[in-house]
Structure 1
Amino acid sequence: MPDHARPDLYISADVETDGPVPGVYSLLSFGMYVVGTFDGERLRRPHAPLTLYRELRPISETFQPEALEVNGLNRDRLVAEGADPVTAMEDAAAWVADVANGHRPVLVAYPVAFDWSFMYWYFERFCPTGSPFGHSSCLDIRTLYQAQAGTVFDLSSKRHMPAELLPEAPHTHNALDDAIEQGELFANLFAWALRRRDGAPTLSSTAPSWMARRVVPLA
């Protein structure tokens, strides 16, 4: 790795909202989970989970009832009890800066287009320092799989992925739960990509052993 290149710090982020686009609709909650660092050779995982979760006060009266049915959040409760968006995004920016600690923070999500749009808009709108990820430090988990599998988009969803790659954590529509779930999926996919880079492309039932060669605990 060139001397000027920082190692990456991958942070899985998930959001729950009351509609499809930021500004018109509100970010109701977000979860962030540190997947690990990558120096161009190995993905190093934290010894203990590093997470952040916040629930926010809505910023508009506009919402889609079907969105609330999916995430199960009580919008009336968040109007009264949710964190001020400024406070929430300042907390998030400070947390990212703290865990990054000399690394380049990179947001990963599934799909990144949705989660990134809300997180970036909220950082730029409510955090005085702006987005700690800049304007483009993000990776899409589905794209990583599609590129490695050499398949089409319609065949790159989680239900088409080999079982060895799938996380054990459940998908609950709680933002922190889902950040952890997709973070584990990203780590598995990343280990697979590194293995393919090293010339061993075949998945097998020995997935834990090949993952261990390239995924190691953070020092």
Structure 2
Amino acid sequence: MVRSGVQPDDITFGAVLHACSSLAVLGHGKMVHGCILHYGFHAYVFIGNSLVNTYAKCGDLLQEGSEESRVVFETMGSVYGISPEMDHVACMVDMLGRGGYLAEAKELIDKYSGVGSAQMSLCEALFGAYFAQGNVGVGRNLGESLMILEPHKETSYVLLSNLYCASGQWKEAEMVRKMMVDQGVKKIPGCIWIEVRNKVTAFAAGKHSNPYTNEQCNIISLILK
């Protein structure tokens, strides 16, 4: 487009960022980010959301900027007249919680609390924050509540079990895993992907179909020695 003399607009950049996030190609995403700054589209809310989505899905989360995120969230309504949806609120809850602002995250849930899946998504985000902060006491209560409300969903079982393991409560963790089995709930295997030389390779827990598995194991063994 650029070589043909056609200037990209916000819709163009949004589409390209969506492709970058879907393929988890961080290098390309950063280049597109640079173009966005060059063309002056960085102030567009749609583009900002797409950039956050791209960096998050590429595993390059920002560790700072909580205050800036608060401002962006607040200006959605006060400046742009956009009512935040549950996904926006859940992102804020997760960010505040992981940043250590657990009380503020809880207040946000109380303010935007709804019913059904919307309420559950907010509670799950808060539970993830408690897990990140290692808050066993409150995290346990919230996790047990989620298990009762959604007994056939794996998220609460896995997070609660991991929370117990992280705090050395192995017996409690085993009890949660047993409850998960008794309910017939199965954990979806963890998966991660990485881009090397413009090619995306996926790795799933428990699978050894990757042709470079042996070389990877050998390198890890050398590193651990």
Whether the TM-score (by the shorter chain) exceeds 0.5 is: no
| Structure with more strand by fraction | 1
Higher relative contact order at CA 8 Å, sep ≥6: structure 1 or structure 2? Answer: 1
TM-score with structure 1 setting the length = 0.24
TM-score with structure 2 setting the length = 0.23
Q: Which has the larger radius of gyration?
A: 2
| Structure with more helix by fraction | 2
